[in-house]
Structure formats: C-alpha cells, structure tokens
Amino acid sequence: MIGVIDYDMGNLGSVLNAFRALGLPARMLDSPAEASDCRLLVLPGVGAFGDGIRHLRRRGWEPALREWIAADRPFLGICLGLQLLFATSEESPSEPGLSVLEGEVRRFRVPPPLKVPHMGWNRVHAEPPGADVFEGIPAGAHMYFVHSYHACPQEESVVAARTEYGGHFCSAVRRGALVAVQFHPEKSQAHGLRFLRNVAAMAGLEPVEAR
C-alpha cells in the first residue's frame, strides 16, 4: 500500500489519482497511525515552508517521518515535500524543517528575462541518466515545475538530478530508500507516471495488472 500524507498543503488528490491510474494501491493518510501497513510514504504539497512544517507537527507527522526515514523505509517527497526534508528555508527562516538532509532551501536569484516563480516545463538531467528511479525516462526529459525556492544539499552525493534555470539547481535527491523531487511527476504526463511507477517498484509494489 502507498500512503499519501494529507496535511492540508495543496491538491494532494492528484498524486493519489496518479498512483491509482497506474493500478497501484494507494490511499490518503490523516495520521501516522494509519501508516502501519504502508510500503511507501509520499509527502507531496505546495505552499509555504513554514505552513507545511507547522501542519506536519500539528498532525504528529514530524517525529513519525524522521523515524520512517531513519529506518530507511521507502519515501517520496514531491515539491514542498522535498524542501521540508532540509533544516532551513529562506522562505520561513524561523521554522526548522525535518532536518533529515543537510543543507538549506534558497529563493531563486535569476537574471532577466527569467522570472520567479520557476513555472512550467523544464528538462531534468538525472545523474547518471536513466539510472534507478529514472529508468526508462529519456535523458533531459521535460517535467513540470512550479516553485520559487530550491533545495541546496550540503552533500553532493544525494543529488540525483539537476535542472537549468539561471544556473543549475538540484531537482531530485536520493539517499537509500529516500527519493524526493522538486518537479510534479503527477502533472508530467508519461515521463512523470513512469517515474512514479519506478518509485513504487523500488518499494516492491507493482501495478495490479502486471501481477
């Protein structure tokens, strides 16, 4: 079972629907107590860093997520769900994040005519191309982005993909069974769905029709 964490941060239903469209078992989770039979936890979300971490705390997810990730259980963060893995963000400097990855989240500083937020389709360059959760996805495939801030990992070893927008930024991270992306795979058509299927396979889950 895939558990999509509901913490009142954006249209989480689109992520749930994407997994279901792939024939993968998924449901929304209101509290950590509902995650006991899940093989993969997904933390999506859009919105402000400070609001996100406060909502996670209020619902009891902060310690539960740290424990889940520390045990190296399969986890996928999407957009805000990537940024919240880090210790701090320029967006909400007084609110500490989950601190499971070293580094910070910074606002884009881009030259004209580029604008903030970074919005729309852009190329994702996996490192190395086509490996692991990017298997079957062409090098430089277009994925859909909507964000004003980007993660800056302290450890280069966790960077799984980069994207160009006034300079290269980290658009995916991977450490053990932890995967997180800045783009929205649920909005990225065939390549995004292939990515979600790859992440589910990492957790030992296959589409129902493939069984």
Q: How far apart are CA 60 and CA 111, in angstroms?
A: 40
Q: Would residue 147 show up in a list of annotated catalytic residues for this protein?
A: no
Residue 133 and residue 160 in contact, taking contact as beta carbons nearer than 8 Å = yes
Q: Would residue 152 show up in a list of annotated catalytic residues for this protein?
A: no
Q: How far apart are CA 154 and CA 191, in angstroms?
A: 28
Per-residue confidence (pLDDT) for residue 129, from 0 to 100 = 86
pLDDT tens across the length of the chain (211 residues):
999 999 988 879 999 999 999 999 999 999 999 999 999 999 999 999 999 999 999 999 999 999 999 999 999 999 999 999 999 999 999 999 999 999 999 999 999 999 999 999 999 999 888 788 999 999 999 999 999 999 999 999 999 999 999 999 999 999 999 999 999 999 999 999 999 999 999 999 998 764 4
Q: Would residue 62 show up in a list of annotated catalytic residues for this protein?
A: no
CA 17 to mean position of chain CA atoms: 16
- pTM as predicted: 0.96
Q: Give the residue from 152, 154, 149 showing the smallest Cα distance to 109.
A: 149
Active-site residue, from 38, 55, 62, 79? 79
Active-site residue, from 62, 91, 104, 186? 186
**Who's near 78: CB < 8 A, 6+ residues apart?**
15, 42, 43, 44, 45, 180, 181, 184, 185, 186
What letters, b where the CB count within 10 A reaches 16 and e where it falls short, cover 99-114? ebbebbbeebeeeeee
Per-residue confidence (pLDDT) for residue 210, from 0 to 100 = 44
Q: How far apart are CA 73 and CA 36, in angstroms?
A: 12
Per-residue confidence (pLDDT) for residue 209, from 0 to 100 = 61
Q: Give the residue from 191, 206, 205 showing the smallest Cα distance to 161.
A: 191
Q: Which domains does the chain carry?
A: 2-210 (3.40.50.880)
